[in-house]
Structure 1
Amino acid sequence: MNSIGQYLITIGAFLLGNIATAQRVTSANTLYDFSHQRIRHQKTLGLTLGGYALANIAAGSIMAGQTTGEARYFHRMNIYWNLVNLGIAGAGLLGSRNVKPGDETLAQAVRRHETMKQVLLVNAGLDVAYVLGGAYLQERGQSRPDKREQLEGYGKSIMLQGGFLLAFDLVNYFIFKNRGDKQEIKLLSAGPMGVGLAMPIR
């Protein structure tokens, strides 16, 4: 082989090596960003839900002592409901505290992203059930004069809390989907020399 042929082979190998190295670095950076964005969003979810819960507990505690009848039951249920919300928010924040974006593989990052979307959708379905349950309690209060104030107060509170959670879960689902899915597709399609993977994304 002449010197020109050897030179061209050497240059070609050098360029291909640089392209592959650059692709690996770009993919690693994109994976880090993808994981970091999800973890940060999960922390924001916990802080938002926790703040909402604390505000409801504080307001409910004050108002329950200053009102009577149906309104008192309404504020009491707000307290009970948001004690649960506070626990959920705290557990979520604790769970995300030890997760580091640089420690995730592509498979782990994709699985956790998809799981988060599924959890939000399941929660949204439960939220609809809460709203319907609250409406049922209100209706039930009409046929139970002895329990009317309690049932209607509790029913209104559950409808309010369920409605908030429904909006909260759906908004965050679409944020995860619209922002995260684009990164996920890029990561899955960024294989060596443009050879990628394809998978269905809900």
Structure 2
Amino acid sequence: MPRTLTAAMVALVTGMNATAGDRTYDPFLHYDRAMNVLLVWGGTSMAAGVPMVLNDDPWVKRIGTQNILWGGINAGIGVAAKALNRRNRVSMGRNDRINSFRRSMVINGLLDAGYIGTGIALAVLAKNERLKATGVGFIIQGSFLLGFDWANYGLTFR
């Protein structure tokens, strides 16, 4: 069952039934498709945030604000990373792309853990309800990003 789940994740993110150990695995395509997922997450976060900021509940409004801000940042990162990946396809070898991808996923995963930790601290320790809600927004976004980065890191080893 775990192998089937992994194969489904590989197919979803990379669009192919290949792994990093397989010579048909294209790390540039994997990276590009991963950034597509990040773009969709960013757009979905922003779209979900708009009606939330129009809500009268201050908690919902604050979480919606976080969705819009994080969504914009994630979409911007996705666009820039796709452009950089196109340039790197010409100047970077396959193994260098795999190693660079892995390194960026590790660094991003550490940052994601920091976002989640900050969110937990705000949600639990803040005296201000707006800050508590902001913390929940951090937890939501950081949790998705952590799962995204770990999954993509793991997919480069299969």
If the length of structure 2 is used for normalisation, what is the TM-score? Answer: 0.79
Are the counterparts in 1 of residues 45 and 67 from structure 2 also a CA contact under 8 Å? yes
Unaligned runs of 5+ in 2: 1-21
User: RMSD in angstroms over aligned alpha carbons?
Assistant: 1.8
**Sequence identity (%):** 23
- d(CA) in 1 for partners of 2:43 and 2:56? 20
* CA contact 2:123–2:136 (8 Å) conserved in 1: yes
Query: How many residue pairs get matched?
Result: 137
Partner of residue 58, structure 1: 47
TM-score, normalised with respect to structure 1 = 0.63
Aligned to 1:193: none
What is the CA-CA distance between 1:97 and the residue it aligns to?
A: 2.5
Give the CA deviation at 1:104: 6.2
Show the counterpart of 1:19: none
Q: Report the Cα offset of residue 81 of structure 1.
A: 1.1
Unaligned ranges ≥5, structure 1: 1-29, 179-202
Within 5 A, what are the aligned runs for 1:29-44? 33-34=24-25, 37-44=26-33
Matched, 1:81 2:70: yes
1:172 to 2:152 alignment: yes
Greater radius of gyration (CA): 1
| Shift, 1:67, TM fit | 3.4
Deviations 1:26-73 (A, max 9, x none): xxxx87x45xx1111011011110011101101101221023211110
Aligned residue in 2 for 1:125 = 110
Query: In the alignment, which residue of structure 2 is the partner of 1:163?
Result: 143
Is the helix fraction higher in 1 or 2? 1
Instruction: Give the Cα–Cα distance (whole angstroms) in 1 for the partners of residues 41 and 56 of structure 2.
Output: 22
Letter in 1 for 2:56: T
Partner of 1:17: none
Counterparts of 1:72 and 1:126, CA distance in 2: 25
Aligned-pair distance for 1:99? 4.3
- Tell me the residue number matched to 1:7: none
